[in-house]
């Protein structure tokens, strides 16, 4: 990814941080965003201390004007345009698997949809004017978006909506836009259960670089797809 510009949302910790570090190590100029500027600056310092290039932009994906500013900043970091976007920012109100839909508050429902779904919409929509011709956009999701699972409430609803948004943009634009399902990852959202973020970050790097565009565009690429690609 030498000379390319990559934007990673929700990059202050977990999957976002690991992906940002991985694409920076691959040579990209990475632009990271999150709501907490202090945590974000720590990620940038870690990348730059290892010789990478990183820029922090404090942004809330629920605010399209923040996202617009994020993408305008990213487009001017290196060569013109943005080559990769990873829409990772997300929230979970409550304990994972313990928020059944019949008990969900309207506040939690609205926050999940506004952050995890509308935030993805804003991220892709505001990136479009700045995307390079061969740019790729990845939306982070999980199996709860597609399969019956008790207790995930409106979080699952928001992830299903995010996947639909990715498919819609893939259909309505010429860019490669797809969904990445890394499986269960050890983050605050999962209570520390699952694969480490560092173990799943290479799946995103592969999807941004080596994977055939047809494999990604409008599709859901899970951990099994990535692992099979490594042994093919």
Q: Where are the domains of the chain?
A: 5-231
The mean pLDDT value for 149-168 works out to 96
pLDDT at 188 > cutoff 80: no
The CA distance from 24 to 46, in Å, is 11
User: Over the chain, what is the mean pLDDT?
Assistant: 95
pLDDT at 191 > cutoff 70: no
The CA distance from 32 to 6, in Å, is 8
List Cβ neighbours of 19 (8 Å cut-off, separation of 6 or more): 8, 11, 86, 88, 197, 201, 204, 205
Superfamily of domain 5-231: NAD(P)-binding Rossmann-like Domain (3.40.50.720)
Residue 195 confidence (pLDDT): 86
The CA distance from 67 to 114, in Å, is 13
The mean pLDDT value for 220-227 works out to 92
- Express each pLDDT in 78-110 by its tens digit: 888 999 999 999 999 998 889 999 999 999 999
CA–CA distance from 162 to each of 7, 43, 101, 167 (Å)? 18, 26, 18, 9
- 137, 71 contact by CB (below 8 A): no
The DSSP symbol for 104 reads -
First CA to last CA distance, the chain: 22
- Predicted structure pTM score: 0.96
Q: Is the dihedral of CA 131, 217, 33, 125 positive or negative?
A: positive
């Amino acid at each position: 990814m030498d000379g390319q510009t990559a934007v990673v949302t929700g990059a202050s910790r977990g999957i976002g941080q690991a992906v940002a570090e991985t694409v920076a190590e691959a040579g990209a100029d990475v632009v990271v965003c999150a709501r907490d500027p202090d945590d974000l600056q720590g990620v940038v310092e870690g990348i730059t201390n290892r010789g990478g290039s990183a820029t922090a932009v404090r942004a809330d994906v629920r605010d399209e004007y923040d996202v617009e500013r994020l993408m305008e900043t990213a487009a001017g970091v290196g060569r013109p345009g943005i080559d990769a976007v990873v829409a990772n920012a997300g929230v979970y109100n409550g304990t994972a698997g313990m928020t059944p839909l019949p008990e969900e508050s309207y506040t939690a429902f609205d926050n999940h949809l506004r952050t995890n779904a509308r935030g993805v919409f804003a991220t892709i929509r505001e990136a479009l004017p700045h995307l390079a011709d061969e740019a790729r956009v990845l939306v982070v999701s999980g199996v709860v978006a597609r399969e019956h699972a008790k207790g995930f409430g409106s979080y699952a609803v928001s992830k299903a909506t995010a996947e639909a948004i990715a498919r819609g943009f893939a259909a309505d634009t010429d860019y490669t836009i797809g969904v990445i399902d890394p499986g269960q990852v050890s983050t605050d959202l999962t209570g520390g259960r699952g694969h480490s973020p560092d173990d799943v970050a290479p799946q995103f790097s592969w999807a941004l670089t080596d994977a055939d565009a047809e494999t990604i565009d409008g599709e859901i690429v899970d951990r099994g797809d990535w692992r099979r690609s490594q042994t093919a």
